[in-house]
C-alpha cells in the first residue's frame, strides 16, 4: 500500500468513515479485530478467508457498509480532494450504478510512459479516448479502481463478480444486463503506480487479455475462468 493513499483518502471532501482492504497487509496483520471508526477516520478491516482476492475483499466490505455509495481505490492510488465532489453528483440519476474516472500514474519513469517526466502513457488512449466513446454509447465499464459505485446496485446483482479474474468488467456486464447505467467522468482525479518494468507490464497485460478475450461467445451467467 502506498503510504500516501490513506492521507489522500482522509483529505477527500464530503468524506465519510472508511474501510481499508489490502490482502498483503491482511496476511501480516492476522485476524485482529478492527477498532470502531470515528467520523472522518479510516478503519482497517480483515477477514478470516482470502478467497476470490479483490472481489472477495469488496464483497466482505459490502456486508459492513451502511452507505448508499462506495468509492473503490487500489492501495497504490491517491485520490484528489475533489474526487467525491466531482463524481457523487452523477448519482442524482437513480438508475446509475457506477462512475468511472481515468487511471493515471505518478511514476512517470515507468515502462508504460512515453519518456520520463511525460504524463502520456500506454493507457492514455483507452482512458482519455476509448472510454469516453463507450460512455456516449452507454457502455462505459468499471475498471477496478478510481470509481464510485452504488451499493444497492451491487447487492442487486449479487455483489462483485467472483467468477473470473476481471471482476470489474464482469460486474459491469451484470449491472447493464439488470438495467443499471454507468457513466465515465473524463477527468484525472486519482493517481497510482504504473508497471515499472517490462516483466511486470507484460504479466499484467497477459492476465487481462487472456480473460477478456475469452468473454466472446460467453454470457455473464457462465464466464470464463483465467
153-167 pLDDT, tens digit each: 999 999 999 988 889
Higher local confidence (pLDDT), 121 or 127: 127
What pLDDT score was predicted for residue 31?
44
The answer, yes or no, to whether residue 15 has pLDDT greater than 70, is no
What pLDDT score was predicted for residue 58?
94
The answer, yes or no, to whether residue 80 has pLDDT greater than 50, is yes
74 catalytic residue (yes or no): no
CB count in 10 Å sphere of residue 145: 20
The answer, yes or no, to whether residue 225 has pLDDT greater than 70, is no
* pTM for this prediction: 0.77
What pLDDT score was predicted for residue 131?
95
Per-residue pLDDT band for 99 (boundaries 50, 70, 90) equals very high
Which of 22, 76, 80, 168 does the annotation list as catalytic?
A: 168
The answer, yes or no, to whether residue 184 has pLDDT greater than 50, is yes
Fold classification of 67-215 (topology level): Spore Coat Polysaccharide Biosynthesis Protein SpsA; Chain A (3.90.550)
Higher local confidence (pLDDT), 87 or 205: 87
Higher local confidence (pLDDT), 127 or 112: 127
Burial of 136 (0-12, 13-18, 19+ CB in 10 A): exposed
Which of 23, 24, 51, 76 does the annotation list as catalytic?
A: 24
Higher local confidence (pLDDT), 52 or 214: 52
State the chain's mean pLDDT as an integer: 80
168 catalytic residue (yes or no): yes
Amino acid at each position: 500500500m502506498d503510504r500516501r493513499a490513506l492521507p489522500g483518502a482522509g483529505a477527500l471532501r464530503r468524506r465519510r468513515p472508511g474501510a481499508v482492504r489490502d490482502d498483503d497487509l491482511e496476511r501480516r496483520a492476522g485476524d485482529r479485530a478492527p477498532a470502531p471508526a470515528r467520523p472522518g477516520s479510516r478503519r482497517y478491516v480483515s477477514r478470516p478467508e482470502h478467497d476470490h482476492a479483490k472481489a472477495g475483499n469488496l464483497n466482505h466490505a459490502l456486508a459492513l457498509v451502511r452507505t448508499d455509495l462506495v468509492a473503490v481505490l487500489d492501495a497504490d492510488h491517491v485520490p484528489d480532494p475533489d474526487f467525491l465532489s466531482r463524481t457523487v453528483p452523477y448519482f442524482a440519476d437513480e438508475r446509475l450504478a457506477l462512475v468511472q474516472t481515468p487511471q493515471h500514474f505518478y511514476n512517470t519513469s515507468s515502462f508504460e510512459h512515453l519518456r520520463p517526466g511525460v504524463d502520456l502513457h500506454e493507457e492514455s488512449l483507452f482512458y482519455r479516448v476509448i472510454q469516453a466513446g463507450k460512455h456516449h454509447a452507454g457502455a462505459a465499464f468499471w475498471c477496478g479502481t478510481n470509481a464510485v459505485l452504488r451499493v444497492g446496485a451491487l447487492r442487486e446483482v449479487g455483489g462483485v463478480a467472483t467468477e473470473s479474474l476481471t471482476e470489474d468488467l464482469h460486474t459491469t456486464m451484470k449491472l447493464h444486463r439488470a438495467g443499471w447505467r454507468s457513466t465515465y467522468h473524463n477527468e484525472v482525479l486519482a493517481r497510482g503506480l504504473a508497471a515499472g518494468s517490462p516483466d511486470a507490464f507484460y504479466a499484467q497485460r497477459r492476465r487481462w487479455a487472456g480473460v477478456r478475450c475469452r468473454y466472446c461467445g460467453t454470457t455473464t451467467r457462465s464466464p470464463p475462468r483465467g
